[in-house]
Amino acid sequence: MKKIITSISSGLSAIFLTLFLVADKVAAVGSISGGATSARGQGQPTTLFGVGGTFETVTNVLLYIIGAIGVIMIVIGGLRYVISGGNTEQVNAAKNTILYAIVGIIIAILAYAIIQFVINTFVNNGSGTNV
C-alpha cells in the first residue's frame, strides 16, 4: 500500500511540475494568435481568404494546373486525330479526348466561378472585408 501511495504521489508531482513548466512557456508567448503569428514565416499570407490569401493562392495554382493539363490533352487529342489514318475507332477516341479535355476545362472554370461567388457572398459578407 505504501508503494502505491508513493508511486501515485510521484506521478502527480511529475504531472504538476510538467504543467507548471508548460504554463510558464505558454505565458511567454502571450496568446494563441501570438504563437501563430510567431510561427508564420516571412512572406506568408496573413489571411485565409481575400487578396493574397492562402485559399486564393491554392485555387489559382490548381486552376493553372488543370488548365495546363487540359491544353496538353487537347494537343494530344489533336495529334491522335491527325495520325489516326482514317481509322474510325481512333478518330472517335481522338474526338473524345478533345471533347473531355474541353469539358474538363469548362468545369474547372465554372467551379472557380462558383467558389468565388460563395466566398464573396458569404465569407466577406458582400462588403469586401473579412468577417
Q: What is the pTM of this model?
A: 0.55
What does the pLDDT look like over 70-128, one tens digit per residue? 999 999 999 999 999 889 999 999 999 999 999 999 998 998 888 888 777 876 554 44
pLDDT at 29 over 80: no
Q: Which residues touch 123 (CB under 8 Å, ≥6 apart)?
A: 49, 130, 131
Quickly list DSSP for 12-70. Answer: HHHHHHHHHHHHHHHHHH-SHHHHHHHHSPTT--S-SSSTT-HHHHHHHHHHHHHHHHH
Taking the domains of the chain in order of start, what are their residue ranges?
Answer: 2-39, 54-123
The pLDDT score that the predictor gives to residue 3 is 73
Is the per-residue pLDDT at 21 higher than 90? no
Model confidence at 131, pLDDT cuts 50, 70, 90, reads very low
